[in-house]
Amino acid sequence: MTGSERGLTVAQVDPAATGQGGAGRRDTGSGTWRAGIRRAIRIGSRPGPWKRGPVLAALALLLGLLMLLHAKIPNRIGGLGSLVETFLPWFGLFIPVLLAGALWRRSVSAVVALLLPVMVWLHLFGAMLSDKSHPGGDLTVAGHNVGADNPDPAGTARDLAASGADVLALQEMTEQTTGTYEKGLAKAYPYHTVQGTVGLWSKLPLSDTQPVDIKMDVGPLGDTKPAEVKMAYNRALRTTVTTDHGPLAVYVAHLGSVRVNPRAGFWTDSRDRNAQALGEALAAEQNERVVLLGDLNGTMDDRAFDGITSQLRSARNAAGDGFGFTWPASFPVARIDQILVRGVEPESSWVLPATGSDHLPVAAGISW
């Protein structure tokens, strides 16, 4: 091979010698420049932190408005209003979920929108986060739906007798278990009355005892049960407890059940009718000092109880510690067992340990 041939070969294989290397470097620089432009365009086209997460922001506002305006939700559509109000405190669980989504999307608008449901929830339920109880009290009252299917009524009676309550109200007793409760509570409570499926045991004398007609005998077609069936099925009573401070009117009630039906929605007709009748009985009560103990099958946020809550106040709201959920006993999600008062001062309110019932007992200390 000649020198010229070797030179030609070197020129052919050496990009620098032909200027191709320089062209390649210029192409690389041009590609980097174009990639930078594309990256800048993408960054520029991304929504800013205020424009990100519009759906999350809208959901946060809707959640806040739902809690704020819950009383405006119509009940005529499958009882939707009462259903929302029954579980109203639990809507607060959506707040951390939406907050996590807002942080993941880096959405300032969604975070700001969450201020509405946070403030509304705190306004409605913030007081439940603190202990409002006070020491002392002139009288301790307790109530318990003992459960018709309670497998251990004798054990439940022992637990309730050991609670130290001066006045004890029971609901949902059966013909088979009433005698068991009377026997188990006799030593601790010398006075008692049973009216149908409800009863009251007291360490203090009772008088003026009578059943309360809360329309449990009225069927969906307006028909009424026979008198003997009506008495056996009675689910409310009124009596007077004689105390050192004067007479105390005590009501015991077990309102109708509610049902969630795919066709009818949240069915509360029986309970709502009972609540109205009970409210009328309370309005006619002459004694200025009143205590209502009962399984009302609803929370006090439910509009169905406006006729009752306009006259009595909740001991739990006034002097409780926490939400005091009572049902179901295995995992309480709602406070449907209530202690309401008028003319006396709640000093404390608490939930007693579980028994064999599917409800938890409730108690409160009251004073004059």
Q: What digits encode the pLDDT tens for the residues 76-96?
A: 989 999 999 999 999 999 999
44 found inside a domain: no
| 206-211, strands of its sheet edge to edge | 206-211, 236-243, 246-254, 290-295, 337-342, 313-314
Q: CATH code at 361? A: 3.60.10.10
**Residue 118 pLDDT exceeds 70:** yes
pLDDT of 264 reads 75
Span 22-38, mean pLDDT? 60
Is the pLDDT confidence value at 9 over 60? no
**pLDDT at residue 337 greater than cutoff 70:** yes
| Domain membership of residue 62 as a residue range | 54-129
> Both 251 and 210 in a single domain?
yes
Task: Write down the pLDDT at residue 333.
Answer: 97
Q: Please give the model's pTM, rounded to 2 decimal places.
A: 0.83
Is residue 28 included in any domain, yes or no?
no
Residue bearing tokens 């009985």? 281
| 143 and 124 in a common domain | no
In a domain, 45, yes or no: no
Residue 2 resides in a domain = no
69: left (phi over 0), alpha (psi -120 to 50) or beta: alpha
pLDDT tens digits, one per residue of 292-324: 999 999 999 999 999 999 999 999 999 999 999
Asked whether residue 71 falls in the same domain as residue 116, the answer is yes
- Within 8 A by CB and 6+ apart from 7, the residues are none
Q: Is residue 13 part of a domain?
A: no
**Same structural domain, 109 and 209:** no
* Number of other CB atoms surrounding residue 239 within 10 Å: 22
Please say if the pLDDT value at position 18 is more than 50.
no
Burial of 293 (0-12, 13-18, 19+ CB in 10 A): buried
State which of 83, 108, 129 marks the end of a domain. Answer: 129
The H-assigned helical ranges of 89-196 are 94-105, 108-113, 115-125, 153-161, 178-185
- Residues 194-252: tens digit of each pLDDT: 999 999 999 999 999 999 999 886 555 444 555 444 555 799 999 999 999 999 999 99
Tokens of 364: 């409160």
- pLDDT confidence bin for 325, thresholds 50/70/90: very high
Are 160 and 229 in a shared domain?
A: yes
Confirm whether 215 is domain-assigned.
yes
Domain membership flag for residue 9: no
Between 260 and 33, the more confident residue is 260
Give the model's pLDDT for residue 285. Answer: 98
From residue 258, give the alpha-carbon distance in Å to each of 206, 265, 267, 270, 292.
Answer: 32, 10, 6, 8, 20
Mean pLDDT lowest for which of 1-15, 38-52, 113-127, 198-212?
Answer: 1-15
Task: Transcribe 79-109 into DSSP letters.
Answer: THHHHHHHTGGGGGGHHHHHHHHHHHHT-HH
Which whole number is the average pLDDT over 107-132?
A: 96
271 with 165, same domain?
yes
According to the model, what pLDDT value does residue 350 have? 97
Same domain, 118 and 146: no
Strands 290-295 and 337-342: antiparallel
Tokens of 244: 């050192």
Task: List pLDDT tens digits, range 148-206.
Answer: 999 999 999 999 999 999 999 999 999 999 999 999 999 999 999 999 999 999 999 99
Same domain, 93 and 153: no
pLDDT of residue 10: 41
Confidence (pLDDT) at 32: 78
Beta bridge partners, 170, equal 144, 199
- Within a domain: 5: no
Do 119 and 143 fall into the same domain? no
Domain final residue, candidates 129, 152, 175: 129
* Mean pLDDT, rounded, for 46-64: 87
Question: Same domain, yes or no, for 187 and 281?
Answer: yes
Contacts of 46 (CB under 8 A, 6+ apart): none
The Cα angle at residue 105 between residues 60 and 38, in degrees rounded to 5 = 140
Q: How many other CB atoms are found less than 10 A from the CB of residue 180?
A: 19
193 shares a domain with 328:
yes
Q: How far apart are the C-alpha atoms of 332 and 252, rounded to whole Å?
A: 22
Tell which of 99, 129, 159 closes a domain.
129
Count the domains in the chain.
2
Closest among 44, 49, 48 to 110, alpha carbons compared: 49
Say if residue 333 is in the same domain as residue 283.
yes
Range in 11-15, 278-282, 283-287, 360-364 with the lowest mean pLDDT: 11-15
